[in-house]
Structure 1
Amino acid sequence: MNTDFLVKEQVINALQFRHATKNFDNSKKISEEDFNFILEAGRLSPSSLGFEPWKFLIIQNPELRERLKEVSLGAVSQLDTASHFIIILSRTDVRYDSDYIFKHMKSVQKMPDEIMEFISNALKDTQEARGIINNERALNDWSSKQSYIAMANMMTSAALIGIDSCPMEGFNYDEVENILKEENLIKGENWKPSVMVAFGYRKEDPKRAKTRRNLDEIIEFV
């Protein structure tokens, strides 16, 4: 059988398999090897100019999960039952001339000085064109949107190996941020909670089949 066909079939089957799991089987835990695979999918995810404006907090401490439940009404059952629970943080210090941007270009991307200057100017033009250059909230929103790419890749990768997941926005962002600061998990002012995602094994199958609009309703070739 054609290898390309098999790969395509595996991906589509994984996307059909995935659903927003509300209750996980808390007797089943994801192996270290499998969870590292999921995290690697997040690490390798694309971001604007490769600046990786995210951090993955894996919340396994039961006491911390209990605290988070009080301010995360959309994640209570997942905090109770998920094998692994992640809060993705997004950076606030992503202006074109920030220390973080230059440190990342130099230390991670290993760019020579002239390329760093070119990329910084290109990022400045982009941020000016989008009207976000002097707006900390808008800059963080830009980072936060990118964190969803990493989350989606982790969820799809999990589904490919039969692991369930659930993304969640149903939490009080300020209160979660306060808790993480109190726990010394957010240090300084350069991080904010972006989104939560839980991983584990479903306790029961979905009660109805996945529904989506037809392809011809959502695409238009121009």
Structure 2
Amino acid sequence: MNMQSIINAYQFRHACKDFNPEKKIPEEQFEAIIEMARLSPSSFGFEQWDMLVIMNPEIREAIREIAPGGQLQIPNCSHLAVLLGKKMPIMRFDSSYIDYMLKDVQKVPDEVYTFMKEFVERFQRETFRLLDSDRAMFDWSCKQAYIALGNMLTGAALMGIDSCPMEGFDPKALNNILETRCGMDQSTHGAAVLCAFGYRVKEPRAKTRRPVEKVVRWIR
């Protein structure tokens, strides 16, 4: 792996609309994509998202019906991932989940635990005002989910696997499907973004981006 091969992967990656339904991603490769998401950074390391991988064709069809942005991708892709953002009951500074992350996952010592709880409370209550509304907290979680999504897209491209992230869905309808068909609890989770993975049917048009001098200003 060198610098040019990484850039080539970014050139390869595009929002694939037309997947080959006959070509499936080897399970070990998709497990690697999941691992790239799992190892992604998140605010405070609190892992504010979970994931569903929808393989069931009937559930996919139900999702396709309420997702105008995924009419071709959802039924034909090899793997369909749904990243879920965690909501207020889980992500509040005083929740059992935050205790679990600090004590059992991060294994912080007692003196650090007390400091972290107080710091996170200030962050949520005053700095970012996440406790002002359920939506503020959920949006914060979704931002963390997008970090994982970006790493999944890049990792897939490095393996020659195509992808298409999708926001073109009815959130209320999708959340109802995920609750009734997939066991998601809407009081604690909500859909952040869909992403299809698989293999392209045809080559895309050339990638278009603004020139770098229009994007970046160096402040020296």
- Shorter chain as denominator, the TM-score bin is over 0.9
**When the two structures are superposed, what TM-score results if normalisation uses the length of structure 2?**
0.95
Divergent runs of 4+, >2 A:
none
**Greater CA deviation, 180-189 or 165-174?**
180-189
Match of 1:3 in 2: none
The code of the aligned residue for 1:138 comes to A
Contact 1:58 1:85 in 2 (8 A): yes
- CA shift at 1:184, angstroms? 4.2
The one of 1, 4, 9 aligned to 2:4: 9
**When the two structures are superposed, what TM-score results if normalisation uses the length of structure 1?**
0.94
Q: Deviations over 1:6-25 (max 9, x none)?
A: 52111100000000000101
- Structure 1 alignment gaps of length 5 or more: 1-5
**Greater CA deviation, 169-178 or 116-125?**
116-125
Match of 2:61 in 1: 66
Match of 2:154 in 1: 156
RMSD: 1.1
Identity across matched positions, percent? 45
SS in 2 for 1:199: strand
For 1:44-123, list aligned pairs within 5 A. 44-92=39-87, 93-123=90-120
The one of 155, 170, 173 aligned to 2:171: 173
Tell me the matched-pair count.
216
Contact 1:124 1:133 in 2 (8 A): no
- Between the aligned partners of 2:57 and 2:210, the Cα distance in structure 1 is 39
Change (3 A) 1:188 1:205: closer
Match of 2:26 in 1: 31
Q: Kindly indicate whether residue 198 of structure 2 is the aligned counterpart of residue 200 of structure 1.
A: yes
- CA shift at 1:187, angstroms? 2.9
Change (3 A) 1:196 1:188: closer
SS in 1 for 2:41: coil
Match of 2:217 in 1: 220
- CA shift at 1:188, angstroms? 5.7
- Structure 2 alignment gaps of length 5 or more: none
- Between the aligned partners of 1:55 and 1:193, the Cα distance in structure 2 is 10
SS in 2 for 1:30: coil
Contact 2:175 2:186 in 1 (8 A): no
SS in 2 for 1:153: helix
